[in-house]
Structure 1
Amino acid sequence: MLKQILAIVNTGVAEEQFLTNAVRLARLHNAGLTVIALSSVSMPNGDFSVSSPVVREELIAAVEAKGEEIEKRARIEGFELQTLPQDSAAQLAKIPIEARYADLTLLAPISGYSNPRLRRHLFEALVQSSGRPLLVLPGEWKPTLFERLVVGWNASWEASRSLADSLMLAESGAQVEVVTVDARETLTDHSKHSSVDIIRYIRRHGFAAQFHDLPSDGRSDAAALTDFAAAQGADLLVLGAAIHSRMHELLLGGVTHDLLGGAKIPILFSR
């Protein structure tokens, strides 16, 4: 049951549609909404600092003006607003902690943030440290109940977690399509029984479910999954977030990396 949502907005860009969708999604589920407004000042090239004092002052003024607009919306639409320090490192450390007090965190597509590098760091921090599912919203989207889900499945613990989280969002009796890509190669020891077990699990929770093994046909796994979701008219794509640490650097798995920017439908990432 979805009762508390956290949305991360960037005060440096036009995030109005993302914020509108966050409010509508919360109302759809009768859930509370907390909005964290990032106040970091960054240049379009991704730098977190600005060398020119004049340019920096202009950017700060623009951020403050945008923050005032969000404060006004919070008063009118009744959501809780939090602001964090301008220091980007402090924001990245704090946000995953705040996310632990919500059932779901919302992230806008790349177009919703003035700094793509900061957005990627946010994504990594949230899936790595929050312990909560992350929903990446598309730019053109009208919030609706999730009635047809496509779940990318490879029998990993990340996939298992994402499936369980997605059922919290699914409408009663929703159709869940469980999809593997080149299953003989990806499921290894799970290949013989995984389809039977996972379909039984979903149906016992009151949802309709079907299993599909797709050939990649030269496509990436991400392309195979998004193509299938589009063909099925799905309203939610569900993925386990593959993220690994090597030499103090976080590395995103193939599908996670390919779909980091979002898709035409919402994507739920869990880990």
Structure 2
Amino acid sequence: MSFTNLLVHVDDSDRCGERLTVALTLAQKHGAALTGLFAQSDSSGAGIVTRKAGPALTQAAQRARELFEEKAREAGVTTRWWQLSHGEYGHVIAETVICSRYVDLAVFGQHDPEDSRVPADLLEEVVLNAGRPILVVPHSGSYPQLADRPVIAWNGSREAARAVNDALPLLKQASSVLLLAFHTQPRAEGGGTVPQVDILEHLASHGVKATQERMTIASMTPMDAVLSRASDHGADLLVMGGFGGYGGSLFPLFGRGSNTRQILRQMTLPVLLSH
């Protein structure tokens, strides 16, 4: 299992360059091709009415493409360019979701209310509906190294299992992997027997040597605990299930999806999300 085909969301925002750097670094490391997808909201009424890109959006796309191609040449990465036909709200969301389904991993930026060029809920919709792992780059900071010291947020959920499997190409190349196993309360005695499943054993079968820490959630939310421990560990990537995460029947204290939204608001390091 490896990454051969990556996508990076491109727009005319100030943080686009950092996203490109992260995506190109991944492409180099894995020998993958990189698709640049220009998707941005159109601020001109004409573009929205005619379903064609207005002059401002056309110019923004040109600037973004020039930046993308310049950085790709410098990195020596094989690329292709995709561009949405216009910037109407629903079109940007729907087409971006569809495009993200045709790659192994898609790189997006954390929504920044102060410098946004896309619908506020674009990232959530992509994570929820693309069916592919999404790597989210924070809207501040620089990340020249990625996935050397990843942390996995693990609770045994479907989404967490998908995230771990989707992240295997990154985890295999890491020098240190920490798995945080979360519980909202101490384990009850009895309740029947279950097979002795072990996520560390599964990772080891793929050549990933990880250490595990068990954490019981008490006074803080799961995501606060994850971010705090990731910081202590010096992590450069967080791997977790998205929109399912720690909600549902296993952990009824937390609303479904609430932890993913908290991470998307408060993230302090790149996050790989799978749903």
User: Which TM-score tier does this pair reach, normalised by the shorter chain?
Assistant: 0.7 to 0.9
Kept after mapping to 2: 8 A contact 1:12/1:41? no
TM-score by length of 2: 0.78
- Please identify, of 165-174 and 230-239, the stretch whose mean Cα deviation from structure 2 is larger: 165-174
Report Cα offsets for 1:110-138 as digits up to 9, x if no partner.
Answer: 23984387142x22322222211000012
Report Cα offsets for 1:222-255 as digits up to 9, x if no partner.
Answer: 11001111111122111101259xxxxxx96121
Kept after mapping to 1: 8 A contact 2:185/2:218? no
- Please identify, of 108-117 and 97-106, the stretch whose mean Cα deviation from structure 2 is larger: 108-117
Are residue 269 (structure 1) and residue 273 (structure 2) matched?
yes
**Structure 1 partner of 2:80:** 80
Q: How does 1:90-105 map to 2 (within 5 A)?
A: 90-105=91-106
User: How many angstroms does 1:39 deviate by?
Assistant: 3.2
TM-score by length of 1: 0.79
Question: Alpha carbons of 1:173 and 1:204: their partners in 2 closer, same or farther (altered >3 Å)?
Answer: farther
Tell me the SS of whatever aligns to 2:125. Answer: helix
Q: How does 1:20-99 map to 2 (within 5 A)?
A: 20-42=21-43, 61-76=55-70, 77-78=72-73, 79-84=79-84, 85-99=86-100
- Please identify, of 7-16 and 183-192, the stretch whose mean Cα deviation from structure 2 is larger: 183-192
Q: What percentage of residue pairs aligned between the two structures are identical?
A: 26
**Structure 1 partner of 2:131:** 131
Tell me the SS of whatever aligns to 2:178. Answer: strand
Kept after mapping to 1: 8 A contact 2:183/2:215? yes
**Structure 2 partner of 1:56:** none
- Please identify, of 199-208 and 63-72, the stretch whose mean Cα deviation from structure 2 is larger: 63-72
- Which residue type is aligned with residue 83 of structure 1? Q
Question: Alpha carbons of 1:157 and 1:65: their partners in 2 closer, same or farther (altered >3 Å)?
Answer: same
Tell me the SS of whatever aligns to 2:112. Answer: helix
User: How many angstroms does 1:24 deviate by?
Assistant: 2.7
Kept after mapping to 2: 8 A contact 1:2/1:31? yes
- Which residue type is aligned with residue 204 of structure 2? R
Measure, in 1, the Cα distance between the counterparts of 2:3 and 2:188: 31
User: How many angstroms does 1:177 deviate by?
Assistant: 1.8
Tell me the SS of whatever aligns to 2:149. Answer: strand
Kept after mapping to 2: 8 A contact 1:12/1:113? no
Report Cα offsets for 1:72-97 as digits up to 9, x if no partner.
Answer: 23443253222112222122112222
Measure, in 2, the Cα distance between the counterparts of 1:41 and 1:91: 9
> Which structure features the higher share of strand residues?
1
Measure, in 1, the Cα distance between the counterparts of 2:108 and 2:192: 33
User: How many angstroms does 1:196 deviate by?
Assistant: 5.4
Structure 1: gaps (5+ residues): 43-48, 54-58, 245-250
User: How many angstroms does 1:182 deviate by?
Assistant: 2.9
Measure, in 1, the Cα distance between the counterparts of 2:199 and 2:9: 33
Q: CA RMSD in A?
A: 3.4
- Which residue type is aligned with residue 227 of structure 2? T
Structure 2: gaps (5+ residues): 74-78, 246-254
Question: Alpha carbons of 1:12 and 1:117: their partners in 2 closer, same or farther (altered >3 Å)?
Answer: closer
Measure, in 1, the Cα distance between the counterparts of 2:108 and 2:274: 13
Equivalenced residue count is 252
User: How many angstroms does 1:108 deviate by?
Assistant: 0.7
User: How many angstroms does 1:62 deviate by?
Assistant: 4.4
Measure, in 1, the Cα distance between the counterparts of 2:189 and 2:36: 42
Kept after mapping to 1: 8 A contact 2:238/2:272? yes
Question: Alpha carbons of 1:175 and 1:36: their partners in 2 closer, same or farther (altered >3 Å)?
Answer: same
> Which structure features the higher share of helix residues?
1
Tell me the SS of whatever aligns to 1:40. Answer: coil
Question: Alpha carbons of 1:72 and 1:187: their partners in 2 closer, same or farther (altered >3 Å)?
Answer: farther
